[in-house]
Amino acid sequence: MTSAQISMLHKTMINLSRGLTSLHRSKHFFDAAMIRPPIRSVIRLATSLALCVAVATTAATVEQQAPAQEPDVVRQHEAELEQLQARLAQLRESIADNLEYRDALLEELRLFEQDIDALSKANHQLGVMVTAQQEAVAATSARLQDTRAELSIARADLASFVRSAYAMGRGDQVRLLLGQDDPRRAERMLGYYQVIGARRAARVEQIRTLERALQQLEQQERAETTRLTRLAARQDQTRARLQNALRVRQTIMTDLDQAIAADQSQAAGLAADAEAMRALIERVKRDAEIADVVGLSQTAISDLRGQLAWPLDGARVLRAFGEGREHGALHADGVLLAATQGAEVRAVHHGRVAYADWLRGFGMLIVIDHGDGYMSLYGHNQALMKEVGEWVAAGDLIALAGSSGGTEVNGLYFAIRHDGRAIDPARWCQTTRG
């Protein structure tokens, strides 16, 4: 395999590691939200990884079998890798859009649920008022019916009195009394007429009182019926608004579920976390091929245990290796060194830059592959001075220290890993720093 093709193979794996790193950033959100990616998403990521590995492998195979076609094959695979990078970029944008859309839906849901709360209370209160008004109308109607019946009886009694008086008198009462031969009978007749007159007058007054009461009750019934109609109309309007708000809420919930499902389906392979990223970075190059490409014959990092220089001059340890692991600290697999903003960060050993970008929780992070499965990581930088694919020697300037990634103090996250396993940097670096 030629140097150019080895370099192309390395570039292929580095680009793929960048894509997986971007997916890894998005994973933190879904882990925090306790959202599990669907099985089909994991399958989709596995397929994509297999495709990329197949691309890299095919490049080596074609080089052995058909050297004359090498430029075309390389260009073809580079184009395929560019398409993969474009899909990964679209995935990041889509996830960001879905998160913004979901946040907007949650805010809209909050507003509608507040409206539903107010409308539900209003609907309940109107229901109580309508019930009370219905009872008032029923009571007034009953009183009205009783008054009408009483008035009917009074009118019938008055008519009976009038008929009796007419039947008994049939003429002038004075003439009737004067024509009586018996004075005692005349006196009785006069008393009788007085009683009838008094009772008739009382009935007339009763009828007038009942007619006035009837008129008032009819007016009251009309007013209460009108108020009942208005209350019922308000309740119908409130109920309609409530039903509409509930329908909108259901629509929002459906959209929200779809947004979450879209996040899960688009975040294919987020279950392959940092371990998958480390495994992929380990495939970026093989030690023998690295030496062949650049002609390196330097001492392996495994032979320099306890002799490496610290990446910062005169730095002190703010957090030792493993500190905070019982609380799930994100950086317990490395050390945190105190640093002034802009302090020079230097490589602890020669190697090739495998990653140089922002990573959630680590800020501006640079990763150097030293071969033999050894890697060093430098995080929370203010600026990265090297790019992916560049070779560095021990002591080369690789970054400027800072506080990126959400840390509250200026400091450098420094870690060493072997075959993906974190090891204590203090055992590999010199006892005296600086």
CATH number, domain of 392, equals 2.70.70.10
Distance CA 141, CA 175 (A): 50
290 in the same domain as 254: no
Residues paired with 399 in a beta bridge: 345, 384
Q: What is the pLDDT of residues 324-367, one digit of tens each?
A: 554 444 556 899 999 998 899 999 999 999 999 988 888 899 99
266 in the same domain as 333: no
Domain boundary among 252, 284, 316: 284
303 vs 266, higher pLDDT: 303
Domain boundary among 284, 312, 346: 284
pLDDT at 312: 95
pLDDT at 262: 64
297 in the same domain as 267: no
150 in the same domain as 214: yes
290 in the same domain as 248: no
pLDDT at 379: 93
pLDDT at 26: 43
Domain boundary among 284, 310, 338: 284
Q: Into how many domains does the chain fold?
A: 2
Q: At residue 65, does pLDDT exceed 50?
A: no
What predicted TM-score, i.e. pTM, was given to this entire model? 0.37
End-to-end CA distance of the chain: 42
Choose among 81, 75, 70: nearest CA to 16: 81
Range of the domain at 159: 1-284
291 in the same domain as 272: no
248 in the same domain as 203: yes
User: What is the domain-level CATH number for residue 83?
Assistant: 1.10.287
The percentage of the chain sitting over the pLDDT mark of 70, rounded to a whole number, equals 59
72 in the same domain as 29: yes
268 in the same domain as 343: no
Q: How much is the average pLDDT of 135-158?
A: 82
190 vs 210, higher pLDDT: 210
170 in the same domain as 29: yes
416 in the same domain as 388: yes
